[in-house]
Amino acid sequence: MKFKRLFALLLSSIVMLGIFCVPALATTNGNTIVYSAVNDYKIPDEYLYGRQQLAGMQNSTHLLNLYDALYNGIENMEEKIQIDVPLPSNEVMTDKDKLNAYLNDFFNSVWYPAWEAYTNDHPEQFWWAYVQKDNNQVSPFISATFSIDTIDTEEIKLIIRPSYDAELYSKKAEFENEVKKLLYGLTSNTDEYTREKVIHDRLLAKTTYLQAEHSSCAYGAIIDGNAVCEGYARAFQYLLMRAGIFSHTVTGLAIDYEASEGDNIVYTSHAWNLVKIHGDYYYVDATWDDKEGFTSYAYFNVDDYQIIGYDHFPHDKYDIPECVSTQYNYYVYDRGIIIDEFNTSQIANALSANGGTVHIITFDDNLFMEFFDLYEKDMKESKEIVRSLGITGGYAYGGLQTYGEIIAYLYRKNTMTVCGTVVSTDNSKNTVVKLTKNGEVKYSQQLTDAINDYNFNNIALDNYTLEVSKDGHTTYTEQIIGDYTISQVKNITLYLYGDVNSDGSFNLSDLVRLKKCIANSAVMNNEAFNITSSCEYSGKLVEMRKMLLSQ
């Protein structure tokens, strides 16, 4: 007898898994990372941490079959994905209650671990992503029906029938182009920590925490600039992978500090990242590092002690490696400091070295509050810091308190700081950073590398125009409004003149792209060519042709 059954209760549990946002290694040419086209890119096997863990589990054959079926079906946008369910005994197959119990066990022991490993390995498949809308799980890119088929008591199939957004191909291309912009200027000569931090800072500068249509996947963060924790984690993971750095999304629970009160601790579903920098594992929580108006580093390259068992609790469907190194923790390696006791000289030196702003962290709760009180009251220690910095006259000090971190600042009341990072492709020419007022250059710095920091520290409090220029690149300008309360961080990307496809070079492919744009068969939205009319396009086309023929 041939029959088919749909087990609604079990299928609803499958759909609810959509709460986790579902969703290469770059090759090198000289010192420039070359990114493959969207249709060619495939995440290297060594980055598929979830799949590696499934291979070591007891029922690995079934786990890997399910994982691969999901990946291949969604990657190829198949309209029917068929997954084999291990066949039980005839006694179970012919008893509805026993079969339901057997299928429940299948979902617990096979589906859930395989699904979690697959989704946390593949942020690039952003179109398989669900968000909560009213009381339902919905996806803006794909809809799917699930059913369990039992056929002649000889086999069981889990059938998934996806239906895809008609504009998905163009959205994938749009996504890939924006990824390249966010990675612009990063090369294989750039050390891993710098690559990671540049990506972290650019992503957070672009993204706002907001529940929106695409906010649970990488597309929402990278294209819309709106994301929740899943969106932040999966976008950060994919950008790191494309820059040649291992990353994996970790899902679990975290303490909801806003909802918790006293002994009543409230937990919420959360996602963050596992990264591997110079051979050691660390955790990064990009969501909790993104503060309104500034970037925090309280959860940038932290170890187990600083995160696991304290306020983050990963699911245990498969093993996560221990994170024990602190070498590339921001406060150990970069511009922040860790304090074990109140040391005014140490804090003063850090404030001075970092333009009047410093990220400070301590693991002593009492010391944390004592330090924060410094910026709430006119205490003796604050005057000692001011004196050690040589500040006379009026001054302003303050602190921004985040999870486990204080961002302290101290300024003369008539001064300000403007700082940041400039990224470009060509490092053979110097970059000039200027602050001008009414056309007159007030401050200027010359940078020599493709990625370099600039810092105008303790300059006169005023309104300026920030101008960043480099031969062969489009000039960047931005208005700066005088504000002494905290460093104004402006991270800037300079685009190579004529590089309309953002691949870091100027060649015939840019000419072809321009021709298509003039013919309205391709869209060009690049800071390297901010042109609005066909006449302007034609003029630039002639100019580009001459430049190319002369090379």
Per-residue pLDDT of the chain (551 residues; tens, 9 = 90+): 222 333 322 333 333 333 222 222 233 334 444 443 344 568 999 999 999 999 999 899 999 999 999 999 988 888 888 888 888 888 888 888 888 888 888 888 888 899 889 989 999 988 875 544 444 444 555 555 656 665 555 778 888 887 787 788 888 888 998 998 899 888 888 899 999 999 999 999 999 999 888 888 999 999 999 999 999 999 999 999 999 999 999 999 998 888 888 788 899 999 999 999 999 999 999 999 998 777 889 899 999 988 887 889 998 778 889 999 999 999 999 888 888 777 778 888 888 887 778 888 877 777 777 766 665 554 455 667 777 776 666 666 666 666 668 777 776 778 888 988 888 877 777 899 999 999 999 999 999 887 888 989 888 889 999 999 998 888 899 999 988 767 788 888 888 877 776 666 777 777 777 777 766 655 555 565 554 445 555 666 666 666 655 55
Measure the CA–CA gap between 68 and 233, rounded to whole angstroms: 22
Give residue 420's pLDDT. 86
Give residue 398's pLDDT. 64
Answer for the pair 253, 268: CB distance below 8 angstroms, yes or no: yes
Q: Considering the entire predicted model, what is its pTM?
A: 0.79
Q: Which of 494, 498, 495 lies closest to 542, judged by CA?
A: 498
In Å, how far from its chain's centre is CA 428?
Answer: 29
Q: Which helix (H) or strand (E) is 352 found in, with range?
A: helix 344-353
Give residue 419's pLDDT. 87
- Give, rounded to a whole angstrom, the gap between the first and last alpha carbons of the chain: 75
Structure-derived torsion over alpha carbons of residues 369, 201, 302, 410, reported in degrees to the nearest 10: -30
The length of the chain is: 551
Give residue 39's pLDDT. 43
Vertex 259, ends 255 and 265: CA angle to 5°?
Answer: 50
DSSP string of 375-405, one letter each residue? TTTT-HHHHHHHHHTT--S-EEEEEEEETTE
Reported for 253-258, long-range contacts at CB under 8 A and 24+ positions apart, including other chains, are 253/312, 253/313, 254/311, 254/312, 254/313, 255/311, 257/311, 257/403
